[in-house]
Structure 1
Amino acid sequence: MNDLILKKTTLIIFCQIPKEIGVVEAATMSVNPSTAYRMLKDFVQLSAGDTVIQNGANSAAGQNVIQLCKVWGLISVNIVRDRPNIDELKIFLKNLGATHILTEQELSKTDIFKSKAVSKAKLALNCVGGKSAVEILRQLDHKGVMVTYGGMSREPVTLPTSALIFKDISARGFWMSRWTKEHQGTQEQEIMQRDIAQLLIDGKLRAPVHKLLPLRLYQEAIKNTLNAKGFTGLKYIFDFQGLDSST
């Protein structure tokens, strides 16, 4: 009976996803690509040449933000934490389409905004919180919006009073699960899924760095994902193929 249910579930899912899309891409397209898509579409009216700044740019969602910005002609300023392999990481993000990559320390010293080499950001995407959130908020233009969708530092988001009063900055929150629940079966969801699927087929969106694990090794994924240092460097995806009662 369980085998029958599993086969039916797989059939339903695969009927909705083009066969040209790989298993990993299919498994993640409703999560990270959709999160990036909605945040870039729903909070600020962006046009080609506008600037988006984000922290946690090497995260799975951040990688999708970079690629969508490239597709839509947006300038992306991408902030990451310093680490031993920072040069390697910058090359990787650059190859994804990132316009600028800065460490958190470099952001506090950069003059790309003051010199107007890059226009002030209309949208800031925050998945870290704490000081990192404040630093990207400082780079927002008047009436800019910061969207928080995570809190990896486990520190609160603090908004400077001056940014609220003199720049009329807005702070919003986003949760993909809530959006999906509220828009299930709508034309808006259908359009997004179609757009993402086509970008995957065209090779303009790539799956994040990942590791496929059989479900019996779930402890490895949990242990590394909950690592307070946050330098896992990949996304864990459970592989249910071959799953049986002994697994």
Structure 2
Amino acid sequence: MKKNMAELIGTFALVLFGCGAAVISGVSPSGPSGIGLLGIAFAFGLAVVAMAYAIGPISGCHINPAITIAMMVAGKTTTKDGIGYIISQFIGALLGALALKIIANGKPDFTMQEWALGSNGWGDGYGGAYSMTSAFITETVLTFLFLMVIFGSTAKNASPAMAGLAIGITLVLIHLVAIPITGTSVNPARSFGPAVLAGGKALSQLWLFMIAPVLGGLIAALFWKGVFEKA
């Protein structure tokens, strides 16, 4: 229960800090303002760093179903723990998005537009209007690289004190590339919370952000286990 609660709180914080930075501080109706793309990227990355040191000793700080599934496949997380983690992550993400919606509603001119609350998406009207193929490849490849960093920085011969920082910085780099394409998911729970409350196109496109990150994580788990752990 402590592990599951830690995952819930960590995912709640990730969505509130990351998506909150995009919704509240990132842009305005007149165009880019405030912290901008770089600031949003750092908000997500720093949220992971903070949570890694806060709940890492309790649950390992997955706060991402793609990570949990990859860890299960790699034999680093039990199925029992993994299922509990994933359920807690989705609940935490939904609560984080709900908290963000309540806060944002306090602004007089706030409206729930398409892809609201920092939802992920693609195509006409979203970011750089990239295609579905570009979105799928981006999410799969970047999640693969994200998991490779996670496996490497948490390996037995790695420095455990630096793992949270390495993982957080990697997430910043991922956002710098993917924000114009998909808004950056690499995390099904992070996409789930905002999309459920936003509805519309965000919800109809959610499937990609459930499948692509998990696929990227699975490839990374099999690659790491089959190549590096056998080396």
- TM-score > 0.5 by shorter chain: no
Counting strand residues as a fraction of each chain, which structure ranks higher?
1
With normalisation by structure 1, the TM-score equals: 0.28
With normalisation by structure 2, the TM-score equals: 0.29
Counting helix residues as a fraction of each chain, which structure ranks higher?
2
Q: Greater CA radius of gyration, 1 or 2? A: 1
